[in-house]
Chains A and B, each alone.
Chain A
Amino acid sequence: MRDYYTPTLKNRAQPGDDWIQNIRQQFPTEATLDEVLTKKLRNRAKTAEHKTDFGDLQTRLVRYLKKATGQDDLIFENLHRLSGGASKEQFTFDLTWNQESGIRSSEKLILRMDPTESIVETHRLREAQMLDAMWGEVPVPKVYWTDPVGEDLGHPFLIAGFLEGTVQPEGGDKASGLGMFFEPNLRLDLKEQFVQHLAKIHTVDWRNKGLTSYDSPRANHIEANEWSLGWWERVWQEDAVEAHPIIENAALWLRENMPIVEKPVIVHGDYRSGNFMYTDEHKINAVLDWELSHIGDFHEDLSYTTCQILGTPMDDGSVLTSGLLSKDEFLDKYQHYSGHTVDPKRLFYFDVFSYYKVAVISIATSSRAAYGRKTHLDAMMNLLTGFGYTGVSALQRLLDHAS
């Protein structure tokens, strides 16, 4: 039995109904985010540590696929676990079945499944809807099936088409693709596409895309930013394993300096190297990891993507955005392709926001998941706090500048 240093830490480790209710009221978020975060808290005290035993995964998966397709004659082969990533458990397999077109064919598929607790707690239905919405707009995998409840495999999951391509160049063994190095010729070929896809994401008419699991924030209002900040404030309050004065001060600054959003757009939420894939011909063939997507201010993605801690340090002391291009070049190209005008004041606000978010994810949630032994990546979750504290340092330096 563990001792808790304070009542707050005990409540976080063993959340009761009243405490959960209080958190929900104090930090309003979108309905589906509230759903997954509340579920996480309710399960926290009930569930044991996460087990990485997948002895019966194939049996359960085949049973699910037969039910989902209504086909008993499907052929399931080559189930393999994927390395890389810092969030979901991922597997690939080959499936032969009669597709909607009536043609019987084989396809390699990817299963993305939640662990008991993850470095980010997100909703598989949101991810599936956003991937559907982006189909035909920017390159994304095709989603086949989603179970946001986790009834069939024990955890929520999503099954999509597996795309062949490269996420990390040869030798680029960076955790989650952070700070990845691309050779100059590769940079030249990829950087334009990288910016174009983000500009496209931000200019898609999201109101006609069937995003029913997303709440729609009002235009010319702070609502979108209130939800964004509320999300991460809530996660901090739920997951932090120790109080942190700098994080607390940053949350207050973000609340007191919150700008309005004139025209809300789709925000990817994690647009960077490691979250796109390219072919041997150097064509980006997939934008991945949409689980943090929401409707908000385009500056949020711009700040996050150009955030120095996510960039690639070069020998001359400069830092390349996602290892591809300088921040200035990225912003110039973005304005050109999107038609949006970048507001430096808002960019600064979201610089602070981005480091706050990085700190919440990498110090609070990653550490909480490892503390409860709730993920398949407990060792990695501990290690990632180093990323988080480096982010806190950058956050404090920004706040110093702001004052």
Chain B
Amino acid sequence: MSPEIEQFLSGMKKTIEEVVMPNLNDRFAQEQAGIVAASLGFLGLIQDKTFHYELLENQEYKRVLTDINELLNNTFSAPEAIIETTTKVIDHFDKDKVDDPSHLRPYTFIRASNEVMKELLCEFIQHQPAMSPELRTAFEAIMKPFFKSIELRERSWVKALGFDPEADQQADIADLLYKNGLLNISKPC
């Protein structure tokens, strides 16, 4: 399919920067046109990676929720509210199975599933005060590397927007998403 999306975006960006902006007299309009051009430039950089970003998150959230459920299955001290969240996770995994061939699913299916899993993980996080000290420590141990991976991925994703004072120290998003030419996940999708 041609033109590719990147070509459309770069064409629009060039037109705004070289034709529209020089002919705008209103300062507010100039400022907003500049923001539109910057947004188009950003979209040009990330547009071919959005599906794989969500696919990677799909696998990461399935893995962490599975680990948490296993932790809770092996403890006798989990309060009722936490068990309810565990049940919701199991129910969700009926709709988007852990070993589902997610890469064959439409983007919106994966995006929706990811949002459900994010909300469930946030429920577990809210339940931490109800956990026993031992359970909470074990939970935190699961979460620590997971938080780190979210943080690195998101910061890398937005670094081209120009707000990061340490942008040159952040990995390119492609280097986080792919390894040896394939999506960088520990389990097959």
Contact = CB atoms under 8 A, between A and B. Distances in A.
A392 B158 CA distance: 11
Contacts of B126: 248, 252
A331 interface: no
B122 A245 contact: yes
B162 to A, nearest CB: 7
A22 interface: no
A382 B46 CA distance: 14
B116 A6 contact: yes
A224 B164 CA distance: 32
Contact of B143 (A6, A244, A245): A245
Interface size class of B (residues with CB under 8 A): 35 or more
Nearest to A245: B121
B31 A84 contact: yes
A219 interface: no
A308 interface: yes
B35 interface: yes
A385 B161 CA distance: 9
Nearest to B150: A246
Contacts of A397: 151
B165 A313 contact: yes
A203 interface: no
A6 B115 contact: yes
A380 B163 contact: no
B161 A245 contact: no
Nearest to B34: A173
A377 interface: yes
A249 B157 CA distance: 21
B111 A5 contact: yes
Contacts of B122: 243-245, 248
Contacts of B4: none
B52 interface: no
B165 A83 contact: no
Nearest to B120: A243
A392 B151 contact: yes
Interface in B109-167: 111-112, 115-116, 118-119, 121-122, 125-126, 128-129, 140, 143-144, 146-148, 150-152, 154-155, 157-159, 161-166
Given A82-B28, A389-B157, A242 B118 contact: yes
Interface size band for A:
35 or more
B39 interface: yes
A390 B125 contact: no
Contact of A83 (B31, B118, B150): B31
A390 B162 CA distance: 10
Interface in A352-403: 377, 379-380, 382-383, 385-387, 389-390, 392-393, 396-397, 399-400, 403
Given A248-B126, A393-B151, A379 B32 contact: yes
Nearest to A7: B119
B75 interface: no
A9 interface: yes
A309 B148 CA distance: 19
Contact of B147 (A3, A377, A396): A396
A87 B35 CA distance: 15
A280 interface: no
Contacts of B161: 383, 385-387
B27 interface: yes
A246 B165 contact: no
Contacts of B21: none
B27 A6 contact: no
Nearest to A3: B108
A6 B120 CA distance: 11
A8 B125 CA distance: 17
Contacts of A244: 118, 122
B105 to A, nearest CB: 14
Given A9-B115, A82-B28, A390-B158, A309 B165 contact: yes
B2 to A, nearest CB: 27
A90 to B, nearest CB: 9
B118 A400 contact: no
9 contacts: A5-B112, A242-B118, A248-B126, A249-B143, A249-B147, A379-B39, A385-B158, A390-B163, A393-B154
Given A244-B122, A248-B125, 7 more contacts: A81-B28, A83-B30, A242-B115, A245-B147, A249-B125, A252-B126, A389-B154
Interface of B: 26-28, 30-32, 35-36, 38-39, 42, 108, 111-112, 115-116, 118-119, 121-122, 125-126, 128-129, 140, 143-144, 146-148, 150-152, 154-155, 157-159, 161-166
